[in-house]
Amino acid sequence: MSNSVITSILHPLRIGKHIAQYPIVQGAMAVRVSGANLAGAVANAGGVGVIATLGIGLDSPYFDKRKRKSFFTANKLALIDELKKARNISPDGVIGVNILVATKDYAALAQTAAAQGANIIITGAGLPLSLPEYTVDYPDVALVPTVANVDSAQFLCQTWQSRYNRLPDALIVENCQMIGGHFTQCEQADTPGFSVATVISQLRDYLEKHIGVMIPLIVSGGICDRSDIDCMMQIGANGVQMGTRFITTLECDADPRYKERHLQAHATDVVTVPSPVGKPSRALGNLFTEQVMTDSSTLEGRCIANCLEVCLFRDKRKTYCLLQALSQAARGDVENGLIFSGTNVSNSKRMMSVAELMAELTRSPNISHEGDYKYSEVN
């Protein structure tokens, strides 16, 4: 994208009945990388703090490793604890919960999040076609699905309208070429001229002309600094979701070794590996990813929680146990665990507080001598 002069003002982000001071949504990172400490701090600093629910009960006192069935109860109880803790940290901030549609306790966690005061429920890893059913008694809870293209957004909106007479309160749009963790394979990614700007334009056109509404669009993937944020606003987004930059904050819930690994990483360290959910994922290369990509038999040999509706590891003995891999890394074993990361990992230079990072992201960008703002390229 060429440089241009614009009025650089970050407007508040309204999602349903909830208003964040800044249009920055903290990404959900599991297992227990983005918990109450990080979410509460981001909410306090004017963004949308998000608790990741995947495996949230794994290291809690509620999970008995001898009884796999206790995992789902542990997730529910641990989520209640994390929401209370986050709300204590940020009594008035906007706090969300991210739930994967592909998990077996998706419905139970959605109901729990709504009942326990989450302001927003964000979903990923599938289209949440029945989500409004689980929150019907809590109309103030905003519902924000993640989509990769116009077709999925259209199908979701049509389904919700016909079944529940409602629409999403916002949509998170994946930049499939840059997002960390699981991503939807972009059929158009190699098409000349393809960009996240194209998807945003198509979505905005569909929502305005065919639905007649202005649903906030939030771009996720590859956003690391203020110029990237401004760039997304210029192409028509209402907000951004950022994950990787928040890992190297003091409040991030992961082990310090996990954070340090991100500080040392470069863009060339990011690799794409298969996942048991059947989607590709981006992570930092290490011994674990080398073993995954060579189909090594030395990986974790058992399903520890039976957490996914469809799991290539559990059902076909392919790939690996996702929970085990993610939790291993978050606990600090950065060679033998899975470290999800976006492509812009090298933009984190040092540890800082969430408040300091948010101040960096929300202050006006530098202006060159020619009077132009400097923007990074949008892929």
Summarize pLDDT for 152-201 with one digit per residue, the tens.
899 999 999 999 999 999 999 987 777 777 776 554 444 544 578 888 88
Q: Identify the three-state secondary structure at position 201.
A: helix
Span 148-154, average pLDDT? 87
Residue 379 CA to residue 377 CA, distance in Å, equals 6
Confidence (pLDDT) at 216: 94
Residue pLDDT, tens place only, 267-288: 888 898 888 888 888 889 999 9
Average pLDDT score, the chain: 85
Confidence (pLDDT) at 296: 52
Residue pLDDT, tens place only, 243-255: 989 999 999 999 9
Give this prediction's pTM.
Answer: 0.87
Q: 8: which 2 tokens?
A: 């650089």
Confidence (pLDDT) at 117: 94
Confidence (pLDDT) at 69: 74
Domains by residue range for the chain, with CATH:
13-258+348-362 (3.20.20.70), 265-330 (no CATH)
Residue pLDDT, tens place only, 340-372: 887 777 677 789 999 999 999 998 655 443 333
Question: Of 188-192, 318-322, 334-338, 346-350, which has the strongest mean pLDDT?
Answer: 334-338
Provide the residue count of the chain. Answer: 379
Q: 334: which 2 tokens?
A: 């950065």
Confidence (pLDDT) at 174: 84
Burial of 191 (0-12, 13-18, 19+ CB in 10 A): exposed
Residue 151 CA to residue 337 CA, distance in Å, equals 34
- More confident site: 140 or 221: 140
Q: At residue 49, does pLDDT exceed 70? A: yes
Percent of the chain with pLDDT over 90: 48
Confidence (pLDDT) at 373: 35
- More confident site: 277 or 373: 277
